[in-house]
């Protein structure tokens, strides 16, 4: 059994490299969109029961830091 070390937690590339790649992406005309919180399409297929644990409304409540009580939907 392998044990984890600090080396395992290091990022694969430095922040400078990531910034450079992002700048190149933007220069090529790439766009960055901030999306609303929500459930990924097809997320239920990852669950054995084929149903989601939380509803879309529950996810949005969690994102906004509202008091979260799961719905019974």
pLDDT confidence of residue 12: 84
With 0-12 / 13-18 / 19 or more C-beta atoms within 10 angstroms meaning exposed / middle / buried, residue 52 is middle
Q: Which range marks the domain in which residue 53 is found?
A: 40-73
In a domain, 31, yes or no: no
> What mean pLDDT do residues 48-70 have?
68
pLDDT digits (tens, 9 = 90+) for 13-53: 899 999 999 999 999 999 998 877 666 665 655 566 666 66
Number of domains in the chain: 1
Residue 12 lies in a domain: no
The three-point CA angle 67-71-73 to 5° equals: 160
User: Is residue 68 in a domain?
Assistant: yes
Cα angle vertex 9, ends 7, 14, to 5°? 90
Residue 61 has what pLDDT? 74
Neighbours of 61 (CB within 10 A): 18
pLDDT at 44: 58
Question: What is the distance between the alpha carbons of residues 49 and 53, in angstroms, rounded to a whole number?
Answer: 9
Decide if pLDDT at 72 tops 70: no
Check whether 54 has a pLDDT greater than 80: no
């Amino acid at each position: 059994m392998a044990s984890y070390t600090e080396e395992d937690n290091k990022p694969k590339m430095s922040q400078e490299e990531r910034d450079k790649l992002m700048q190149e992406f933007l220069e090529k005309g790439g766009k960055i969109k901030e999306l609303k919180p929500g459930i990924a399409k097809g997320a239920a297929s990852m669950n054995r029961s084929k149903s989601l644990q939380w509803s879309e409304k529950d996810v949005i409540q969690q994102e906004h830091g509202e008091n979260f009580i799961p719905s019974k939907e």
